[in-house]
Amino acid sequence: MRTLAFILASLALALAPITLSAASGNADKPFHYEDDRLGEQKDESDKFKFTRIKTYPISAGDHLGDGPVMWSHDYPEAGLHLSKMLSELSKLQVVLDENEWIFSFADPNLMKYPFAYLCEVGYMQLTDEEITGMREYLLRGGFLIVDDFRSAGQMRNFEYYVKRAFPETEYQMKPLDITHPIFNCFFSIKTLDVRPPYDRGKPVFLGLEDKHGRLMMIINFNNDVSDYWQWSGDPFQPLPAEDTQGAYKFGVNYIFYALTH
């Protein structure tokens, strides 16, 4: 772990960009969701708040969590556990013991929160408005963890939406290696040769940068780090300590990178 002086310096930087640059002209127009559990329930943008992206509509009352609503997998335990770990490892003000906000990319309130989690992108179905919102969110300083997907087909679906949001040739997903700052900004992660929670192939770490070299998204392909976060509190899901600790190190590093870049 880095020194206390480094952590305090990081925290000073982290608090500055909590609200992204001004949202678009419809920021004051309420965004309508199909379920009352979705969207911002109250403004908590003055603290770190774990947020999640929905990638297709649901019916009111659908179960959120492990089940048929793919984008909600590991909800809410993964976010709750990672937030708790972040609070214990740093002096960052973190919203605890409260389920994450779930946003559409088209919701202007997403712009208040610089970090969001996105999973099961093999099933993603974004509208034109949501594609525009994803681009706007990332270019204004937002950061995405893209997690829990596998297979060439799922990658093609994800790439389809990324390329629609970023058609310019300078925006290309590229492999990341252990020297990238995201793997060294809080914990010094020693290896990317990690074991996924399921047998789904060798994990690959990819990134998408803006024109200034800032990483806008970290892409965990053939991996599911949030499973480890979720299961770490379940006595019926015993996990190797090194795998769980490693997953938390990745998660904490992802957040600190998001808040300091």
pLDDT band at 252 (very low <50, low <70, confident <90, very high): very high
Mean pLDDT of the chain: 89
Class of domain 4-260: alpha beta
Q: Residue 103: its pLDDT value, please?
A: 98
pLDDT band at 168 (very low <50, low <70, confident <90, very high): very high
Q: Residue 1: its pLDDT value, please?
A: 39
CA angle (86 as vertex; 37, 39 as ends), nearest 5: 15
Residue 13 has pLDDT above 50, yes or no: no
Asked if 99 and 91 touch (Cβ cutoff 8 Å), the reply is no
pLDDT band at 30 (very low <50, low <70, confident <90, very high): confident
Q: Give the mean model confidence (pLDDT) for residues 190-208.
A: 92
Q: Give the mean model confidence (pLDDT) for residues 12-26.
A: 46
Q: Dump pLDDT digits (tens) for 204-233.
A: 999 999 999 999 999 999 999 999 999 987
Q: Dump pLDDT digits (tens) for 129-141.
A: 999 999 999 999 9
Residue 3 has pLDDT above 60, yes or no: no
Q: Residue 7: its pLDDT value, please?
A: 39
As a dihedral over the C-alpha atoms of residue 41, residue 69, residue 65, residue 86, rounded to 10 degrees, the angle is -60
Q: Residue 55: its pLDDT value, please?
A: 98
Contacts of 101 (CB under 8 A, 6+ apart): 39, 40, 41, 44, 49, 51, 52, 113
Residue 69 has pLDDT above 70, yes or no: yes
pLDDT band at 25 (very low <50, low <70, confident <90, very high): very low
C-alpha span between 131 and 16 (Å, rounded): 27
Give the predicted TM-score (pTM) of the model: 0.89
Q: Residue 198: its pLDDT value, please?
A: 82
Q: Residue 70: its pLDDT value, please?
A: 97
